Amino acid sequence: MPLNKDAEKALKNKQALVSSALYVNAGWFEGKLKSIWILADFLVIEAEAKHTKEINKIWGGLIPKNESLSNKAKKIPKNIQTSLNELAQAYFHLLKTIADIYKIDRHLRMGADQPELQTISNEVENFSALITQEKLLSKDFLNVVVSVFFKLQSHCHDLALLLENPSGTPLNPYVRRIRATKGGNAKAVGEDVLRSQFLVFLESMKGRTFPSKKAFWHQCWDEIFGILQIYQQKHIGKIDPKSKKKIIYGQDLKVESLERKFKQWCQNDPNFEYSWGNLFPPKKPPASRGGFPNKIFAMQANPDNEPGFYASAIRCGFCWWADLQQ
């Protein structure tokens, strides 16, 4: 499917567009909303070009040709198959959110006895007609629409990430870690044995705290060295009873490398993460920006309680809304 002029321009500056829409402060509120809108247009076209077969399933046939982002959003089906992959679902939710923005605008226009806004093929002009200077000065409009734009920003983040990921790679980081753990087991026979021995060691220090991780490694160096040495002497070269394969993991492992391994084990093993975290003082929660509670805003922006929304919301940043409140 050929790119329109706006999408071709966006393609040349994709990194700048993604950065402006998702991460950095655009400098002015309308510019932030416009960046999100144009990025949504680009991502929809890119998804259709690279994943045509899966996207066609959403439309029950072929993707509407020569239709603008706004017109596609108005035609998007109300529901989709649950069997669709993550990328297709992110594409659907992005267009559905665009449709929700137009529904809000239509409702406000009806209340003001104004005709429904007509959309055209140029998305920059569609945005300019939708988000006027007059509306940007209206608290009623902003209170309703801004939270939905934040939701659109979150869906743009998810779709952009999925388009960059290899095919079949799940977006959810927990799922990715589980898959990586399962795939790595074949190459790391014996790693679970070593991890369990260090877990027993961490649990044995329950009630003890260290001011920092550096202090832990300094004070416990001898014990850690002893655990590693016993493992290498007793297990390397032996047959693992679970896999029936020879244990080779850790034969060249040094104490200096265990700090990195501890971080990795915390990601893959909740028990290890819990025991490790209990050895240090709890971290103070970060203060919200501009006096605006992030969780409350995320709840307002996510009335349907979509899974994973809050994590995506936090990743995408609250800076542009916080700046508006000041």
Q: Is 282 within the bounds of a domain?
A: no
Are residue 243 and residue 315 in the same domain, yes or no?
Answer: no
Q: Is residue 70 part of a domain?
A: yes
CB 9 within 8 A of CB 16: no
**Could you give the angle at which helices 123-130 and 29-50 cross, rounded to 10 degrees?**
140
In this structure, the answer to whether residues 16 and 30 fall within a common structural domain is yes
Q: Are residues 24 and 48 in the same domain?
A: yes
Q: Looking at the structure, do residues 190 and 255 belong to the same domain, yes or no?
A: yes
Q: Are residues 68 and 207 in the same domain?
A: no
Question: pLDDT digit string (tens) for 4-17?
Answer: 555 555 455 677 77
Q: Which amino acid is at 304?
A: D
- Rounded distance, CA 155 to CA 174, Å? 19
Structure tokens at 16: 């700048």
> What is d(CA 251, CA 243) in angstroms, rounded to the nearest whole number?
18
Per the structure, the count of domains in the chain is 2
Q: Is 75 left (phi over 0), alpha (psi -120 to 50) or beta?
A: alpha
Does one domain contain both 150 and 195? no
Note whether residue 204 is domain-resident. Answer: yes
Tokens 């806004």, residue located? 117
Asked whether residue 295 is assigned to any structural domain, the reply reads: no
Structure tokens that stand for 179 in this block:
């898959």
In this prediction, residue 26 carries a pLDDT of 62
Q: How many Å apart are CA 106 and CA 87, to the nearest integer? A: 29
Assigned domain for 103 exists: yes
Q: Based on the fold, state whether residues 204 and 121 are members of the same structural domain.
A: no
Q: Are residues 189 and 44 in the same domain?
A: no
List of the chain residues with pLDDT < 50 = 1-2, 10, 174, 178, 182-183, 186, 288-326
Report residue 293: phi and psi, to 5°: -65, 120
Q: Is residue 102 in some structural domain?
A: yes
Statement to judge: residues 246 and 165 lie in one domain: no
For residues 207 and 147, state if they share a domain: no
Rounded to whole angstroms, the Cα distance separating 231 from 225 reads 10
In 3-state terms, what secondary structure has residue 136? Answer: helix
Which residue, 110, 57, 107, 63, is CA-closest to 79? 57
Residues 6+ apart with CB under 8 A from 276: 202, 262, 265, 266
The Cα 102–Cα 104 span in angstroms is 5
pTM for the model: 0.52
Task: Give a yes or no: residue 287 inside a domain.
Answer: no
CB atoms closer than 10 angstroms to residue 46: 20
**What pLDDT, on a 0 to 100 scale, did the predictor assign at position 141?**
80
- On whether both 28 and 90 belong to a single domain, the answer is yes
Three-state SS at 13 = coil
Polymer length of the chain: 326
What pLDDT does 25 receive? 67
Q: Cα 7 from chain centroid?
A: 23
State whether 41 and 135 are in the same domain.
yes
Residue 221's domain spans which residues?
175-277
Q: Is 296 a domain residue?
A: no
